[in-house]
A and B are shown apart, each in its own frame.
Chain A
Amino acid sequence: MRVVGQIWTMTAKDLILTARSRHSFLTTLFFGLLILVIFNFAFQPGVEATRLSLPGILWVALLFPGIIQLNNSFQREQEQGTLQAILLSPVDRGALFLSKCLSNWIFLICIDMFILLAFTLLFNLRVTPRFFMIVPIILVASAGFTAVGTLFAAMVVSLRAREVVFPVLLFSIIIPIILAAVSATQELLLREQLEYLGNWIQILVAFDVIFLSAGFLVFEYVVVE
């Protein structure tokens, strides 16, 4: 119960800070929308090749902007010394990891919903009840992406070359998430039968559980010098 309280206290603080410094939200959203606009110009709407590329386009626009938020999530704490202040307190290090994951996840989900809306409008997609099944895929895939990203962001926060190292590390580990998320989206957008959708979601959930558990257990060794 104490850990839950600590997670909530730290998550609430992160959400308040994000709400007060709106620039990070707007910058991340703008980056995602820009990716969609570029793809929209590059691929002609209504053409079969474009239709086949839609799942990939969507996931590039959903995942790439997340790098900005994840990379910044510990940087601000490190610069202001507040990470040390939190580590001085009797907070469970695993609780710190989970709170960062939760606040990053909420942030990315908000961004993702705007991007999904823009994706639907720009590529002229029909909004059917089946289309909304994409939302749970985004929720589950973002959780794994956030778990890995939060763990690596904490690992590289003291490195001088973190802007370069972080995306390379992150994307090399989340390949299974990208493959599963794109495949699940292909099922929804391109196929008549939802034959393997359940399997892809199971893979995403398994990945979430593994990385959230691993992060919770090893975070102590990541943040203490």
Chain B
Amino acid sequence: MTTMDKIKSTDAPMNLAYRLRSLLFSQEGVLFIIMIVSVLFLATRTDKFLTVSNLLQQGRFMTEVGLIAIPMTYIIITGGIDLSVGSILGLTAIILGWTWQELSFPLELAIITGIIAGTIAGFINGFFIVRVKVPPLIMTLATLALYRGLAEGISEAKSARGYPEWFFQLGQGDFLGVPTQLWLLIVAVIIFAIILARTQTGRALYAIGNNETGARFSGLTVDRYLLFIYTLSGFMSGLAGYIFVSRVSTTRSDMGTGIELDVIAAVVLGGTSIFGGTGSVIGTMIGVVLIQLLKNGLALTGVTSDATIIVIGSVLIFAILVNNFIQNRRLGM
């Protein structure tokens, strides 16, 4: 054999078997397998779990977390974090209710005002993180309190109720048999997964996460990208706030409290490294679905809420350990 032939024969075989294997053992693949195993296990314990209506209902409940998890994935990939998403959700809900009830805005305008308020809140986060160079953890921790306080102040502790019927279509209605908000989530997932995986924006985010200084010196407009993702986070939180109000038919200033933890857990479970540089929207979505189905499946098998939290925590640790183990072995492959 000539030297060239020898070199060619050592190329990794790009055949189907190799592709399937690398897909299966990728972070998302392992998580997907864990999810399937959990679902099958829970399905054997109760026959009410794996029904279409139950799964669709769970899709309804997980939409808010799912929507917020998308920009959170982007943010954590760049090595940042956004803890204020829950407060932005609450602020949007309150502004929606307050402008409609106190300022007598037409309801459509109130909805848009609320979401714009959420977007601006995200923009303020991004502005201070980018221009004033406040670390994201500190900034969003501060706005977590600030936005929540604003929500409580504006609402004056009143809740806005009595919305017209069409308002509930988004949160409580169905479209072609599937909960309306779930369509929104599916469309958002497709769009943002493609942006992350296939466009320059996505690649830029990974670059920023891996080495921000390097990215800057390579000519990437790092500041613009960061501003974009934090504003997107505010927008998605606002959208989630609107869906939430539509789902529970009322606004309260404590809405969204604690949701940032659910979102971050799902993102980290989905394979996104907290140090930045790796992650995917699909992985995050598998994480969101896994947590929601676990919660629901356990509840249906008769496990009470306090025990459910223990199981979910354990599964989280287990999934991350298994994934780490397999990824480390793969690197040696």
Verify that A and B bind, or say they do not: no
Residues of A within 8 A of B (CB): none
Residues of B within 8 A of A (CB): none
